[in-house]
Amino acid sequence: MAHPKHESVRRRYDYRCGYCGVSEADTGGELTVDHYQPVSAGGSDEDNNLVYACIRCNLYKGDFFPDALDRAHGRRVLQPLHDDIPVHIHENAETQHLEPRSETGRFHIALLQLNRPALVEHRLRRRLSALLAAKQQLMEAENAQLHQIIAAQEAYVSLLQRMLGIPPEDTS
């Protein structure tokens, strides 16, 4: 059964998994509502504790919640809306693998298996489509520039034609 706050959580997370970023359109269906602090660990249904998550991330996160020792070592899951993710995680632009920048980042990537092959492929496709869109934009700009050059040349040609076609009596 869907969580009572399912709709508002969906909207708050823009229909994407807060942990790995895949969208409903990517996965072909609605995602799930995850309790950041699991109910089994005393987590509530407060908005702050609800994360829109894909089935995989939700599954891998499971009922993990850091104990005092984990916390002392920075072993916790990043909270998508409250943590500054780039401080902890960097996406390698060449390989599309997520690389840790902190112990928390390392733990987060490992627990949620954020370098699982299907996700890396997903990031690769997303990057490819961004590159293609940029290339398309560049080609459209070039095209517009060529049209301007052609228009200027046509104007010049018609000017020359007028000049060559001017009858002598008109200049008097």
Dist. CA 66–CA 104, nearest whole Å: 11
3-state secondary structure of 33: strand
**59 versus 133: smaller Cβ distance to Zn ion:** 59
- For residues 89 and 100, the answer to whether their CB atoms sit within 8 Å is yes
Q: Is 17 in the site for Zn ion (CB under 5 A)?
A: yes
Measured CA to CA, the distance from residue 111 to residue 64 in angstroms comes to: 9
Kindly write out the interface string for residues 42-81 of this chain, putting x where it contacts Zn ion by CB under 5 A and - elsewhere.
------------x--x------------------------
Given the complex with Zn ion, which of 99 and 163 has the nearer CB atom? 99
User: In the complex with Zn ion, which residue's Cβ is closer, 20 or 78?
Assistant: 20
The CB-of-144 to Zn ion minimum distance in angstroms stands at 40
| 31 and 24 Cβ atoms separated by less than 8 Å | yes
Q: Which is nearer to Zn ion, 57 or 78 (CB)?
A: 57
- Give the footprint of Zn ion on residues 140-159 (CB under 5 A): none
Of the listed pieces 9-17, 63-71, 121-129, 156-164, which binds Zn ion according to CB under 5 A? 9-17
Positions that interact with Zn ion (CB under 5 A): 17, 19-20, 54, 57
